[in-house]
Amino acid sequence: MPSLEDITYARNETVAAVRNYYQFLTKMYLDEAKVIEPPPEGWAHITTRSFTLDKSKEVINLLRHLPYIKSTLNDTVDAEGAPDCAFADWQDIFQRGADCRTIRIGTEDSSISDNIPKYVVGLTCGGGYNPRFLLDVKLGTVLWYKCPGGISDDPSRETVDDDPYDHCSEEEAEWRAEGQTWSIPDFFAELKDHFRRLNFVPLSSRKVVHVWKISPPDYGAMLAGVQDIYRQHGWPDLERYDKNECLKAVAKFIGEHYPQHTP
């Protein structure tokens, strides 16, 4: 189990980890056109002058160079990058110019945002049920706030050995203690592992659920059927996996047998 002393932050490595994760999603279910890349010099409109939140220059520099899963006002539901999870499209957030409080509630959490320091930024954006992934450019970590027990009790990647009460204020330590923390590369590797194991199950090119979801009795049977379809199409062997045919088969299976759960 790594300690904080074993971990360092590097912007280029962080950008590469996010990009690699999004590319992985496009190989399984996500439409490639949904992933947008910054120009070589970064998103021009993401600057310290245009950013009204109290975040560090390093956070803003990171957001300037990240790729994003595109969010548009015309989409009924943004494409999810993890179960029930919309990733924050920070270049879109900057262009919309939302007020600070709305941004912090959407990308952090209304109950803890006042105690999140300026070197921590939310990677996701949405309502109260949207997972909160909090990236720390000072420590080089990602914390999953209120991480589900199915993941935190048996992570596939080593979590960080850290007692936040040793180095944080009590208010900050309280929310950190309610999450599970990984190094940045290990966090994204953890998510990919759950997709490979089909603990995370895409129901379409936009919708993803997890196997620990509290749901009606028939939902479990539906998920089992969808998992079988992914395996029948070669998943997780990317050399054999046929994304387009698999998604068609999933849509047909849900539409014919579980139309009440059509995503």
Asked if residue 206 belongs to a domain, the reply is no
**What pTM does this model have?**
0.95
Asked if residue 108 belongs to a domain, the reply is yes
Q: Quick one: pLDDT at residue 102?
A: 84
- Are 234 and 164 within one domain? no
Asked if residue 218 belongs to a domain, the reply is yes
Q: Quick one: pLDDT at residue 193?
A: 98
- Are 181 and 231 within one domain? no
Q: Quick one: pLDDT at residue 127?
A: 84
* Domains identified in the chain, total number: 2
Question: Please, what is the average pLDDT of the chain?
Answer: 93
Domain containing residue 62: 4-192
- Are 151 and 60 within one domain? yes
Q: What is the mean pLDDT of residues 168-190?
A: 97
- Are 51 and 147 within one domain? yes
Of the given ranges (79-93, 108-122, 184-198, 211-225), which has the lowest mean pLDDT? 211-225
- Are 103 and 227 within one domain? no
Q: Quick one: pLDDT at residue 168?
A: 95
- Are 124 and 254 within one domain? no
Asked if residue 205 belongs to a domain, the reply is no
- Confidence category of residue 251, pLDDT binned at 50, 70, 90: very high
Q: Quick one: pLDDT at residue 217?
A: 83
- Are 224 and 105 within one domain? no
- Confidence category of residue 76, pLDDT binned at 50, 70, 90: low
Q: Within 13 Å, how many C-alpha atoms sit on residue 60's CB side?
A: 16
Q: Quick one: pLDDT at residue 204?
A: 97
